[in-house]
């Protein structure tokens, strides 16, 4: 069927065709063609609402799914039919999702019903283990025991069971193999994104964990809400990422001046911060002592934002719970909005983050190096001004000007989080730039290879760089709290390494003429070895105090071991100069050929 015939289809027929194309891996070979872009643009025009749900809608739908769901541990995947039969006899089952986790492994099934009341019905007919050594807590987490006597009931076919990898993280070798099989760099970037992004089951589990905490506190606080935020919900999360949660004890509760009945309440006698810390301490005890699956609870109450870290072993996810970080929820909304503006945004961010991890620029532990969050903001800022082509994304100030009354939000701390929440109201803006993913990746590295970090700050608000307000090596303006620098932790040495790796990446992409064993984005990941450069100094990223300071045998004199740090700095500088020379020599050779 020709492209012209396709464009003449009815809207409903066209949408069905696009859905089929999306499900087929072969459709990726059209990713760079004008025909495919025409299809995508038309899809955005006639079916944009389906592909660009607002952040509020996404969160609301996921929370409804969690309210209609229970998590059941089973003996094996073969237990699904029997579980389906058992639950369906109590109340109709809408759908089921199976996953396994752990070395053994342990098998779990998410059972989703049609209504929230169905969950209450199932829980009312559930029981506790026959043991005195348990805390009898009712929750959404259950296990399916063997029948006392042989069940003569006919086992129904669990046709609505969906099997996914669940919390399983795809092997690195498998990811690389899939990238080698692609036809273009753009397709590699799409494949990388689809291979490591957070899947549906992992997302559902995160909202079930939030729901578990809500139900545990709902007796005392009927209006309690637990908001997932961060990478779990903003569309930039990858498999295995942590779950960030913010707990609100009295969210959306309306007060009526006409009501004469008022709840007796405890007065707050201490400061707001100390009260919050005390509440967090009690909630930490609740997680540790009463909620099934919650373990390794650590209270970090003296931080700027007090948090409780814990591991939910039944959902296989590390969690950070706070009570005063609503700006993080609005930041997640902003990042989700940027990802919804254009389908190329997320694959580009994932590729840049993967590259940074492979060359040793980022680390899972906090320190003086750049974070994935800062890298993501740099990509978004570049897309607001990619060079000669029209911008892919609007500046935040334009979104603020386009906001309506329903988009107005101001946090308790006075942070103005007002901006347009619905990308459909700026649909015309989204159709202007048609560059391929490969072109955007190349432009990204060129853009920051030539960026004046000494004088300019990365800023999403203006849609273009601004003058740095202080002397921080790297300054990335916090979009919602513009007085803050989200990259304040980055040292001058790490900035030099970032600039050097940007130049290396530019050179590697320009140097590719034919496909080899590791080509395209794989050459970026392995580029240092391919072009004779030394591997990224990952071992020097984390320095223990014991490696910096050494006590002499007499116990009196402490010697600062600065030699290791100085050698690392000189190594980075010399390698940077050498790579700049190589790029200049290559440029001169090209000019001489012309």
Under the banding of pLDDT at 50, 70 and 90, the label for residue 517 is low
Q: What is the pLDDT of residues 390-442, one digit of tens each?
A: 899 999 999 999 988 889 998 888 889 999 998 888 776 767 888 999 999 99
Question: Which backbone phi and psi does 225 adopt, to 5 degrees?
Answer: -135, 135
Percent of the chain with pLDDT over 90: 49
pLDDT at 544 over 70: no
Alpha carbon distance 398, 396 (integer Å): 5
Under the banding of pLDDT at 50, 70 and 90, the label for residue 2 is very low
> What integer is the mean pLDDT of 222-227?
92
> What integer is the mean pLDDT of 559-584?
52
Question: Which backbone phi and psi does 187 adopt, to 5 degrees?
Answer: -65, -35
Q: Specify whether domain 343-528 bears CATH 1.10.1410.10.
A: yes
Among residues 316, 324, 315, the alpha carbon closest in space to that of 139 is found at: 315
pLDDT score at 358:
93
pLDDT score at 531:
45
- 411: Cβ–Cβ under 8 A, 6 or more apart, which residues? 326, 327, 330, 417
Percent of the chain with pLDDT over 70: 73
pLDDT at 474 over 80: yes
Alpha carbon distance 7, 32 (integer Å): 18
The two tokens of residue 332 are: 């997640």
pLDDT score at 276:
86
* Distance from chain centroid for Cα 137: 32
Q: What is the pLDDT of residues 197-216, one digit of tens each?
A: 999 999 999 999 999 999 99
Cβ atoms 497, 162 nearer than 8 A: no
Among residues 291, 285, 290, 295, the alpha carbon closest in space to that of 316 is found at: 295
Alpha carbon distance 584, 565 (integer Å): 29
Alpha carbon distance 20, 326 (integer Å): 39
The secondary structure of residue 197, as a DSSP letter, is B
Cβ atoms 87, 109 nearer than 8 A: no
pTM listed for this prediction: 0.80
Identify the residue with better confidence: 104 or 149.
Answer: 104
Arch. (CATH architecture) of 54-163+197-251+271-341: 2-Layer Sandwich (3.30)
* Distance from chain centroid for Cα 264: 41
For 99, the 3-state DSSP assignment is: strand
| DSSP per residue, 387-454 | SSSPPSS--HHHHHHT--GGG--B-TT--B------GGGGHHHHTS----HHHHHHHHHHHHHS--TT
Cβ atoms 285, 207 nearer than 8 A: no
Alpha carbon distance 67, 59 (integer Å): 12
Q: How many CA atoms lie within 13 A of 561 on its CB side?
A: 12
CB count within 10 Å of CB 288 equals: 16
> What integer is the mean pLDDT of 379-391?
84
Q: What is the pLDDT of residues 317-326, one digit of tens each?
A: 999 999 988 8
pLDDT at 17 over 90: no
Beta strands of 43-166 (E only): which ranges? Answer: 69-74, 93-101, 106-113, 141-143, 161-163
Under the banding of pLDDT at 50, 70 and 90, the label for residue 12 is very low
The secondary structure of residue 68, as a DSSP letter, is T
Beta strands of 135-248 (E only): which ranges? Answer: 141-143, 161-163, 225-229, 243-248
> What integer is the mean pLDDT of 94-114?
90
The two tokens of residue 15 are: 């949408």
pLDDT at 566 over 90: no
Identify the residue with better confidence: 348 or 426.
Answer: 348
Question: Which backbone phi and psi does 466 adopt, to 5 degrees?
Answer: -125, 165
pLDDT at 567 over 90: no
pLDDT score at 579:
61
Cβ atoms 530, 512 nearer than 8 A: no
Alpha carbon distance 376, 363 (integer Å): 15
Under the banding of pLDDT at 50, 70 and 90, the label for residue 460 is very high
Residue ranges per structural domain of the chain: 54-163+197-251+271-341, 343-528, 538-593
pLDDT at 190 over 70: yes
Alpha carbon distance 37, 56 (integer Å): 28
> What integer is the mean pLDDT of 558-570?
44
Q: How many CA atoms lie within 13 A of 426 on its CB side?
A: 26
Cα 65 to Cα 200, 208, 421: the distances in Å are 11, 8, 22
Among residues 56, 48, 422, the alpha carbon closest in space to that of 233 is found at: 56
């Amino acid at each position: 069927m020709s492209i012209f015939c396709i464009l003449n289809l009815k809207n409903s027929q066209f949408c069905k065709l696009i859905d089929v194309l999306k499900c087929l891996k072969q459709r990726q070979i059209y990713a760079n063609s004008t025909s495919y872009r025409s299809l995508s643009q038309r899809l955005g025009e006639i079916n944009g609402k389906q592909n660009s749900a607002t952040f509020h809608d996404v969160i609301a739908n996921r929370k409804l799914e969690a309210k209609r769901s229970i998590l059941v541990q089973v003996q094996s995947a073969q237990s699904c039919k029997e579980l389906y039969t058992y639950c369906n006899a109590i109340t109709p089952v809408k759908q089921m999702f199976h996953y396994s986790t752990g070395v053994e492994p342990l098998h779990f099934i998410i059972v989703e019903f049609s209504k929230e009341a169905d969950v209450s019905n199932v829980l009312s007919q559930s029981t506790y283990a026959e043991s005195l050594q348990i805390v009898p807590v009712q929750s959404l987490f259950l296990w399916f025991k063997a029948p006392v006597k042989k069940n003569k009931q006919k086992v129904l076919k669990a046709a609505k069971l969906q099997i996914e990898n669940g919390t399983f993280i795809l092997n690195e070798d498998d990811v690389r193999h899939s990238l080698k099989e692609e036809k273009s760099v753009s397709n590699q970037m799409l494949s990388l994104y689809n291979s490591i992004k957070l899947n549906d089951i992992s997302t559902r589990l995160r909202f079930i964990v939030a729901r578990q905490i809500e139900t545990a506190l709902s007796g005392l606080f009927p209006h309690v809400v637990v908001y997932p935020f961060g990478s779990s919900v903003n569309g930039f999360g990858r498999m295995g990422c942590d779950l960030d949660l913010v707990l609100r004890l009295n969210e959306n509760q309306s007060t009526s001046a006409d009501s004469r009945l008022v709840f007796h309440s405890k007065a707050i006698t201490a400061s707001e911060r100390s009260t919050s810390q005390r509440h967090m301490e009690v909630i930490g005890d609740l997680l540790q002592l009463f909620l099934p699956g919650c373990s390794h609870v650590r209270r970090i109450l003296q931080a700027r934002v007090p948090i409780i870290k814990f591991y939910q072993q039944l959902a296989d996810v590390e969690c950070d719970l706070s009570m005063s970080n609503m700006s993080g929820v609005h930041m997640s909304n902003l990042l989700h909005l940027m990802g919804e503006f254009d389908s190329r945004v997320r694959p580009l961010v994932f590729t840049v983050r993967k590259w940074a991890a492979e060359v040793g620029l980022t680390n899972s532990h906090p320190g003086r190096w750049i974070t994935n969050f800062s890298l993501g903001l740099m990509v978004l800022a570049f897309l607001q001004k990619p060079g000669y082509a029209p911008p892919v994304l609007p500046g935040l100030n334009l979104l603020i000007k386009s906001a309506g009354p329903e988009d107005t939000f101001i946090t308790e701390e006075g942070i103005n989080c007002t901006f347009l929440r619905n990308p459909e109201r700026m649909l015309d803006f989204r159709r202007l730039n048609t560059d391929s993913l490969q072109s955007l990746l190349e432009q990204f590295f060129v853009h920051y290879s030539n960026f004046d970090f000494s004088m300019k700050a990365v800023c999403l608000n203006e849609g273009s760089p601004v003058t740095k307000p202080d002397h921080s090596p790297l300054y990335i303006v916090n979009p919602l709290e513009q007085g803050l620098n989200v990259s304040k932790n980055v040292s001058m040495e790490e900035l030099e390494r970032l600039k050097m790796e940007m130049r290396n990446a530019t050179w590697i992409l320009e140097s590719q003429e034919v496909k080899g064993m590791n080509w395209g984005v794989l050459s970026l990941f392995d580029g240092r070895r391919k072009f004779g450069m030394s591997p990224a100094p990952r071992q020097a990223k984390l320095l223990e105090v014991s490696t910096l300071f050494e006590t002499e045998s007499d116990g009196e004199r402490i010697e600062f071991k600065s030699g290791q740090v100085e050698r690392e700095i000189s190594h980075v500088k010399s390698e940077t100069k050498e790579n700049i020379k190589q790029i200049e020599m290559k440029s001169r050779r090209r000019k001489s050929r012309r």
